[in-house]
């Protein structure tokens, strides 16, 4: 589970054709995985920001249901940016907490050693859920309540203080930061990039489990390529000539790919490759509204916008799965799939069972991965929050994709947009007026999902009441 | 699981308003169940004829996938009626067979006593699957490879020979018929209607399980109201004034309702009502093309056509669920649901697990039953066969419903029709030409399901090759 890695941030083509961005980045190990497995070209993250997607993987539920609809940090603080006219509803700003069934919990019950390595960001600081060990993981490597590291460098002790001292050697050490990465003291002061340290620790835990003869669920979440964008110096040469930030970004991507390569090699070494499901994906679309080099909002082209947005750039991400005897080597599948599908898929493959009263929104993808068809149920995104950067579609919204149609409801108004992704992947031609019956149909579908999941719309500041989700014409019968 | 019971064949309103047919029929025990549970107003059978729907309940799969796309009888004979231009594909005319995971199998593995009472019709005569005991049932009461009884009367020994002797006392006894109901010898010669005999036996088996302290899955499938339409004399008085066939039909409905009442009473008696899920549904729409009194093809009004048809009359059926602590007493839910949804729903509620490599098309309905929303995935019907009666939509077809839209593909041609069920429940106004983009969208969805399930189209007799499923315009990207 890469962090903030966009649809075009890999060298494996995710679009119908290879793009200039595919040529710019370098992910040879992902290319190998794709050649041995399946590329899901319509693969989505559950949300355009980190925590909701990660909680969806843990719970198998869409954010509208699990209600962790935005990123978390402190248990008592809403991280949403202020919006002039609307406010978030009563969302779970504490994040995921013990008591909720999770994928690692049910896998552990089924006999698996469950290993967390890297970014957790499931529950807020000051709550039990900030520790992955309380959420079903037997092993926790460097995970806590923050969704980014103070620094990616071992020479900085992965800390704000270390970074400050490195930049201004005569400064006094600052106080510990909530963003400092915990648990990697062995690498402090060393010339070691965070992704590599995490990978080494993850492989050690994997080796130990193999040695103990137990099956393994390894959730490898390398913090990269989230901000701060900091270069892994050993890969920099390849990106000479790029904007400095983009060059650093390229090395972050390559650090993730190198870790993937090491894990794949370790599976080969243990003779486990033929008996292991490997999934590569990301928690939201690529950062593009700020902090990047080049033109803002173009980093996920041909998709529109990026992280935080309701448009495709916000949620469509790389998806590659290698599943021996299920995926066809080198195949490409265009059935839409989404983060929470992985939960029942992996649970079921492992013989693990969620409690009967825990609703699972995700679908078992086994037959999709084998044959490419079904399920075709609509996918729904819901973020009743203003994210902290400006860009197209970055505002409180709900959205639904059904077949090739996508409908967006911006809560401020509310306003509706409709796109035919088969003709207009870049979402530039709003058809909501031209196609009233399709707009109505999609609104009805969204409404049904809203009822079933308990989806909470944004609050109108003027009245203190929830914004009304527009209903399609034509009542259900 | 009633047999051939149509959407309007009960006194509980399934439509938005009570109809003249609701007033005509008498199902007080179903009214009680509805008052204590939930009416699913958009409840469907998996297919417009018996066997495919019943196999869908057993397997959790749509007929396009399990490939028992038509009713079965003899292992070596295709029961499809001849069509002048097209023939069935290589469907599973032997029906369901041991080896395939089934709902009773996984429930049995989870510790349940699994009881079959009544019509099986899962596998053809001459195959192991003709016996429900080979498909996961611990107890088999009167089930075999036939989908109808020779007679509903104990005085006929539920046999063709007995019926013949009763009608012409001086006739020589005929040979045993494949339709004779097995295993009810204790009731032979007695004034006992088949539904009542089955109910008595089912309750005996239920009592025994309760006595043994084991949980129970009771599949009660009362043969009624399938042909032969034969009156249960004790209820006839209520239907005076109706066409003679319709009066007899009314007593068949009432026999099913009375059995439901006895089972509910028995659950109360055992103190199990608060710990038991009760589902009432039917295997296909009401018979209307032949063998009924009154005007053909009107018996499911406001729905169009009936059993065997692609139109709503063929597949929409009564659905009532009572699930303590899940369903809201007296509620009505319009989310579309279908037979195969019951399979994962009941399995999961019981803590039973299907093998990981067995695809389940059905959705866990628990959250739908609780709140009314999700899932909204499209429903697909597929019957590449000519059924044995003439009526609207009774020809080889595939169909898909998504939201309130329904698209039909008649394989002969092929021809396409599109209906907006929210405006046109009776499917009289084909919008396929007027709404090309919706037609295209629905065809794409159907195509995806076809790929994923291995759906087999009818064969063009002229060329010997499969009919082409029309593809929507606009490729997936």
Helix (H), strand (E), coil (C) string for chain B: CECCCCCCCCCCCCCCCCCHHHHHCCCHHHHHHHHHCEEECCEECCCCCHHHHHHHHHHCCCHHHHCCCCCCCECCCCCCECCCCEECCCCCCCECCCCCCCHHHHHHHCCCEEEEEECCCCECECCHHHCHHHCCCCEEECCCCCCCCCCCEHHHCCCHHHHHHHHCCCCCCCCCCCCCCCCCHHHCCCCCEHHHHHHHHHHHHHHHHHHHCCCEEEEEECCCCCCCCCCCHHHHHHHCCCCHHHHHHHHHHHHHHHHHHHHHHHHHHCCCHHHCCEEECECCCCCCCCCCCCCCCCCCCCCCCCCCCCCHHHHECCCEEECCCCCCCCEEECCCEEHHHHHHHHHHHCCCCCCCCCCCCCCCCHHHHHHCCCCCCCEEEEECCECCCCCCCCCCEEEEEECCEEEEEECCCCEEEEEECCCCCCCCCCCCCCCHHHHHHHHHHHHHHHHHHCCCCCEECCCCEECCCCCCCCCCC
- In chain B, what percentage of residues exceed pLDDT 90? 92
Confidence bin at B477 (pLDDT 50/70/90): very low
Note whether A20 contacts B: Cβ–Cβ < 8 A: no
Mean pLDDT of B66-81: 96
The domain defined by B20-152+193-374 folds into: Alkaline Phosphatase, subunit A (3.40.720)
Residue B195's φ and ψ, nearest 5 degrees, are -60, -40
Answer whether residue B253 shows pLDDT above 60.
Answer: yes
pLDDT of residue B472: 64
Range with the poorest average pLDDT among A164-173, B96-105, B157-166, B420-429: A164-173
Q: What is the pLDDT of residues B424-443, one digit of tens each?
A: 999 999 999 999 989 998 99
B373 contacts on A by Cβ (under 8 Å)? 447-453
Q: How many CB atoms lie within 10 A of CB B476?
A: 18
Note whether B443 contacts A: Cβ–Cβ < 8 A: no
Answer whether residue B376 shows pLDDT above 90.
Answer: no
Q: Using alpha carbons, select from A278, A294, A210 the residue that is nearest to residue A245.
A: A294
Answer whether residue B145 shows pLDDT above 50.
Answer: yes
Q: Using alpha carbons, select from A278, A374, A334 the residue that is nearest to residue A15.
A: A334
Sign of dihedral through CA atoms A71, A73, A76, A82? negative
Answer whether residue B476 shows pLDDT above 60.
Answer: no
Rounded CA separation B397/A91 (Å): 46
The set of long-range contacts for A385-389, using a CB threshold of 8 Å and a minimum separation of 24, is A385/A69, A385/A70, A385/A80, A385/A81, A385/A88, A385/A91, A385/A458, A386/A80, A386/A81, A386/A82, A386/A83, A387/A48, A387/A49, A387/A81, A387/A307, A387/A308, A387/A309, A388/A81, A388/A308, A389/A289, A389/A290, A389/A308
Total-model pTM: 0.85
Residue among A360, A405, A438 minimizing CB distance to B364: A360
A435 contacts on B by Cβ (under 8 Å)? 437
Answer whether residue B172 shows pLDDT above 90.
Answer: no
Mean pLDDT of B220-242: 97
The residue to which tokens 């994997």 are assigned? A206
Enter the DSSP assignment of A303. S
What is the domain partition of chain B in residue ranges? Answer: 20-152+193-374
Q: What is the pLDDT of residues B34-50, one digit of tens each?
A: 999 999 999 999 999 99
Mean pLDDT of B87-93: 97
A33, with CB counted inside 10 A (0-12, 13-18, 19+), is buried
Residue A100's φ and ψ, nearest 5 degrees, are -80, 130
Higher pLDDT, B353 or A472: B353
B474 contacts A423? CB cut-off 8 A? yes
A359 contacts B367? CB cut-off 8 A? yes
Higher pLDDT, B375 or B288: B288
Sign of dihedral through CA atoms A474, B328, A363, B378? negative
Collapsed DSSP state (helix, strand, coil) of residue A316: strand
Residue among B351, B423, B476 minimizing CB distance to A404: B476
Note whether B422 contacts A: Cβ–Cβ < 8 A: yes
Note whether A454 contacts B: Cβ–Cβ < 8 A: yes
B423 contacts A448? CB cut-off 8 A? no
Half-sphere exposure of B207 (CA within 13 A, CB side): 11
Tokens of A462: 């003027």
| Average pLDDT of every residue of chain B | 95
Residues 359-418 of B with CB under 8 A from A: 359-361, 364, 366-368, 371-378, 402-405
Pair B200, B183: CB distance under 8 Å? no
Give me the sheet containing A405-410, strands edge to edge.
A379-383, A397-402, A405-410, A415-420
For A423, the closest chain B residue by CA position comes to B474
Identify the segments of chain A with pLDDT beneath 50. 474-477
């Amino acid at each position: 589970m890469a962090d903030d890695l966009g649809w075009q941030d890999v060298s494996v083509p995710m679009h119908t054709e290879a793009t200039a961005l595919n040529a710019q980045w370098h992910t040879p190990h992902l290319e190998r995985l794709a050649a041995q497995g399946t590329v899901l070209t319509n693969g989505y993250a559950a949300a355009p920001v980190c925590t909701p997607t990660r909680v969806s993987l843990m719970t198998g539920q869409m954010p509208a249901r699990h209600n962790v609809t935005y990123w978390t940090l402190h248990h008592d603080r809403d991280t949403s940016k202020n919006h002039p006219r609307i406010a978030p509803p009563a969302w779970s700003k504490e994040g995921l907490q013990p008591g909720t069934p999770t994928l690692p919990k049910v896998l552990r019950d089924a006999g698996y050693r469950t290993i967390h390595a890297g970014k957790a960001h499931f529950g807020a600081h000051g709550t039990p859920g900030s520790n992955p060990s309380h959420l079903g993981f037997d092993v926790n490597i460097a995970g806590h309540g923050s969704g980014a590291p103070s620094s990616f460098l071992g020479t900085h002790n992965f800390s704000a203080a270390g970074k400050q001292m490195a930049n201004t050697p005569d400064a006094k050490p600052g106080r510990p930061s909530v963003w400092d990465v915990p648990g990697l003291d062995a690498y402090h002061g060393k010339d070691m990039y965070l992704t590599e340290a995490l990978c080494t620790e993850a492989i050690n835990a994997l080796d130990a489990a193999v040695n103990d003869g137990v099956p393994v669920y390894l959730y490898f979440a390398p913090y990269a390529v989230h901000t701060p964008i900091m270069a892994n110096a050993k890969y920099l040469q390849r990106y000479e000539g790029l904007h400095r930030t983009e060059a650093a970004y390229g090395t972050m991507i390559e650090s993730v790919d190198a870790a993937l390569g090491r894990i794949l090699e370790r599976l080969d070494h243990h003779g486990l490759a033929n008996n292991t499901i490997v999934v590569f994906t990301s928690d939201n679309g690529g950062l593009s509204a700020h902090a990047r080099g080049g033109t803002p909002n173009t980093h996920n082209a041909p998709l529109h916008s990026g992280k935080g947005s309701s448009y495709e750039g916000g949620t469509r991400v790389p998806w590659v799965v290698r599943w021996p005897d299920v995926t066809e080597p080198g195949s490409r599948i265009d059935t839409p799939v989404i983060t929470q599908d992985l939960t029942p898929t992996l649970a079921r493959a492992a013989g693990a069972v969620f409690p009967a009263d825990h609703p699972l929104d995700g679908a078992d993808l086994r037959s999709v991965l084998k044959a490419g068809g079904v399920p075709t149920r609509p996918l729904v995104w819901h973020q009743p929050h203003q994210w902290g950067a400006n860009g197209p579609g970055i505002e409180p919204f709900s959205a639904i994709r059904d077949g090739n149609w996508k409908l967006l409801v911006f809560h401020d108004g509310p306003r509706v947009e409709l796109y035919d992704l088969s003709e207009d992947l870049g979402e530039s031609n709003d058809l909501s007026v031209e196609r009233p019956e399709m707009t109505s149909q999609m609104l009805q579908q969204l409404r049904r999902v809203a009822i079933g999941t308990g989806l909470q719309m944004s609050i109108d500041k003027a009245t203190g009441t929830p914004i009304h989700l527009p209903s399609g014409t034509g009542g259900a019968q």
